[in-house]
Chain A
Amino acid sequence: MATADTAGTHAPKAGEYIQHHLQHLQKDFSFESVKQTSIVDFSLFNLDSVFYSVILGVLGCFFLWRAARKATSGVPGRFQAAVELLSEMVENQAKGVVRNAKSRKLVSPLALTVFVWIFLMNAMDMLPVDALPSLWHSAGPAMGFADYMRVVPTADLSTTLGLSLSVLLVCLFYNIKIKGAGGWAHELVAAPFGDHVVLYPINFLMQMIEFTAKTVSHGMRLFGNMFAGELVFMLIALMGGTWAWQFNPISGMFWLGIGHVVAGTVWSIFHILVITLQAFIFMMLTLIYVGQAHDSH
């Protein structure tokens, strides 16, 4: 920290840098700039997450749509082959988990959308961590916005819990559709321990715990991975920043520049695996949860 202090009045300290980068561009519903103070606050939304997730969703849909429109039954181009591979992979995974062919007509495209969308949102981590925020630093305040910007929508708990809540809604829909409202209500009180009046409250409690735990862990898993990844990228960026402030071959800080490049390379390569894996896991769990909604006890 001492190095940053001596670098001049404008250089932020490490903690300030991280805190500034962890602040969302927040607006309340009359579009006034606000700052969240409590952990849960429903009176505001994160404009940056909404913006980037919508842009990426539209982009992903557009490319898939274009691949579908231009698809030929002859020799496929490279892009068409990639999209075919992807949708076949998703379809195969769906076949293994969701047995009902009629539900698969909705669930497989849903899973494909979830995979592509989450992968694109996660892939925002691959951009240099300061690139878009520093652009915003010169553009945002000029347009009257606050100087905050986070570019990875899945590193925002609101986004990931929103996704997992939508999956929960799909599960509830299929529970009612497949089993009927009465059948599902009976399952809620009769599973997992057995159909007996004494066991009804315990069964119901267990079912509620199961739904809550599923949904929360579903969202938290994606958020935790992306948030940790983003923070590590910020720390690596700080190494380079400290090196640049302290450009002096004699001081020990000189080696931070090399550490910055090495750590950045290693973490980026590892993170390619993480973003793909987390998107895949989110998709698989979506399929598994919907598949569970089809099983009757």
Chain B
Amino acid sequence: MENVLGFVALACGLIVGLGAIGASIGIALMGGKFLEASARQPELMNELQTKMFILAGLIDAAFLIGVAIALLFAFANPFVLA
């Protein structure tokens, strides 16, 4: 029982932490490229900005789903019921 709780706590930390690393790298790469691209061609900025926001949402989504699942495990743990 205590073992399970401890492992689930560790797992929640890993889910949020690793997800955050991935999402941050993704956003950083994309944001950097966006700035570069709009410095080269400022007239494309508005068009690129829309696409950047869409992609930011897509990158964020996997991380936020992870956070949701981790928080769910933290508060309504399905593994201790068994």
Q: Is the CB of B76 within 8 A of A18?
A: yes
Contacts of A277 in B (CB 8 A): 53, 56-57
The answer to whether residues A22 and B54 also contact, given A221-B61, A228-B67, A231-B71 and a CB cut-off of 8 A, is no
* Chain B residue, CB-CB nearest to A14: B75
> Interface residues of A: mostly helix, strand, loop or mixed?
helix
Contacts of B67 in A (CB 8 A): 224, 228
B14: interface (CB < 8 Å): no
Contacts of B75 in A (CB 8 A): 14-15, 18-19, 22, 231
> Interface residues of B: mostly helix, strand, loop or mixed?
helix
Chain A residues within 8 Å of chain B by Cβ, number? 23
B68: interface (CB < 8 Å): yes
Contacts of A224 in B (CB 8 A): 61, 64-69
Q: How far is the CB of B17 from chain A (nearest CB, A)?
A: 15
Q: How far is the CB of A142 from chain B (nearest CB, A)?
A: 27
A220 CA to B68 CA, complexed, in Å: 11
Q: How far is the CB of A113 from chain B (nearest CB, A)?
A: 19
* Chain A residue, CB-CB nearest to B55: A281
Q: Is the CB of B57 within 8 A of A231?
A: no
Contact of A280 among B57, B72, B76 (CB under 8 A): B57
A274 CA to B76 CA, complexed, in Å: 25
Contacts of B50 in A (CB 8 A): 93
Q: Is the CB of B57 within 8 A of A281?
A: yes
The answer to whether residues A225 and B60 also contact, given A22-B76, A280-B54 and a CB cut-off of 8 A, is yes
A274 CA to B61 CA, complexed, in Å: 10
Q: Which residues of chain B in 24-82 are interfacial with respect to chain A, using CB atoms and an 8 Å cutoff?
A: 50, 53-54, 56-58, 60-61, 64-69, 71-72, 75-76
A224 CA to B69 CA, complexed, in Å: 8
* Chain A residue, CB-CB nearest to B51: A284
Contact of A281 among B58, B69, B76 (CB under 8 A): B58
The answer to whether residues A225 and B72 also contact, given A277-B56, A281-B54, A284-B54 and a CB cut-off of 8 A, is no
Q: How far is the CB of A224 from chain B (nearest CB, A)?
A: 3
Q: Which residues of chain A in 221-249 are interfacial with respect to chain B, using CB atoms and an 8 Å cutoff?
A: 221, 223-225, 227-229, 231-232, 235
Q: Is the CB of A225 within 8 A of B61?
A: yes
Contacts of A228 in B (CB 8 A): 64-65, 67-68, 71
A49: interface (CB < 8 Å): no
A214 CA to B64 CA, complexed, in Å: 18
In the complex, which of the residues B58, B65, B68, B76 has the most CB atoms of chain A within 10 Å of its own CB atom?
B68
Q: Is the CB of B57 within 8 A of A19?
A: no
A34 CA to B60 CA, complexed, in Å: 35
A223 CA to B76 CA, complexed, in Å: 17
Flag A245-285 by CB within 8 Å of B: 1 or 0 each.
Answer: 00000000000000000000000000000100110110010
Given contacts A225-B61, A228-B68, 4 further A-B contacts (CB under 8 A): A22-B72, A278-B57, A280-B53, A281-B58
Interface residues of B (CB under 8 A from A): 50, 53-54, 56-58, 60-61, 64-69, 71-72, 75-76
